[in-house]
A and B are shown apart, each in its own frame.
Chain A
């Protein structure tokens, strides 16, 4: 649907986006995730043809979008965009939603019906005559979505649409996006700095870091097989360890890290330096009792140095010569009687460790 090739944008001397290559497929929900200031907004603005790239090309449905303002306007009118901070015009909700139709010269007789069905889609039927500036943030954002959807765009772009909203409004908007995608087959491209949200909604995601697209893939790829340390940290991989492969028996490698060693599934030959990525959910904590047998290959004894409560979960840091971080439920923490200084065993299955050979 949208193909981006070699796209860059500079502001003065600074590169905001560098050499972005990306393909958005028709009908998918694609999420751009990345920390604030990584270039997500800039990329979305370029795709909506609001700004001009310094270099590179964007193809919309096979058509090169570089051209006169008229060409760009015609392509822009096949998309809809929702901004992080919803801007409504100081008039009624119905008139706000009708703008896209008015600009396109739609038949005035059809406008009220189309506005009503757009408002119905976002669950704001009956709000037609309300003044848009009196709505709450979540309602304004839904008006912004209705306003973008009323023209039935092929692509809907959303720039951190829920960044300023409360959890209830956020959930409403997330459900709405799924409904739009499945009912109207609109291709949706949205950015977020909230990985969990990306995970809930997206078919595929792209991680953007310092203006570069660091990784594109399915959720599983990005969460369990991150490319490199920065992506890993951003997607919540807490334990990142560097070591050297000692032996490798039919794909089961032994990696030495400090005084400990880890068994991992990786094709790397002995002598190779590798980085291990371990998600905290994959680490389990138990009290050592000596006798218990288990299929878990990696068991390290250590003492707890830090406990951070995250509501229903607790993030436990275990010092096993190197810090290993585990995420366990608050209830099991209580049952095991864990506290700082407790000696525990941290276990990780060999298959749960993602290994990347260092270049």
Chain B
């Protein structure tokens, strides 16, 4: 396996690196391995994770001074990951069994944070991942999840923090009966650049997945959603869908979507969609006629739009955490 500094730079013809290049998200010179402070994990045991062939994962692995393992079984857990200083990184290993709920909060005011998460689900796991890192921070987040036989992963991401974010999420539905319900809500304001890449692989048949990404963009923010839904050879009976929706709130906001699809089996259901539209003026008019200010009206529409990304998530605890996180964020924006 090639180690990080020897790896060739990824091409921008690859949709993963098309909009936020490796040079842009890297904290310094791409051929150097900088010194990193550890992320402060609120819980977990010391552990080890293997290196990776993928450049971002290999980089985080090479600089991370800390790796924590979290084993959960039939419990509800909240873990806080706090990063401080100039450069901070860490790795998290999650093993879940039974029916569990996990809330991961990424916080702190570190200028650059790198985080790699590896998770394996047996049973049912509902995850709320809330990025509420400082608005001046850059975040590189890599996630790899494996969903085992007859298991369910509800993976809900609320992305409201940071200035430049690059998230690369890969989920493998490894055995029959595995089910993924993935929702991503991104709120862009000021000059925020929020880039999400999601790869879902149906390795075997009779697996299901749904991906919904909703992004609202205000100010001169930019949202990027690139998806790759792979249905492998022989994975007949797979049922997969992905939807990317963008709500543009200002003249200078931008949104990009590439909902990719690679299908190598014929007896499958695979569909994707993408849409982009402005806020409906009639909705604003209706709300302002009920006494809300235009800003409050817009905020309410954004809340409804973003929470709709989690329509397939059934876990009430996760939904409450996400809603509270989003409402606090929107209130802060209104308060200036």
A and B form one complex: no
Interface residues of A (CB under 8 A from B): none
Interface residues of B (CB under 8 A from A): none
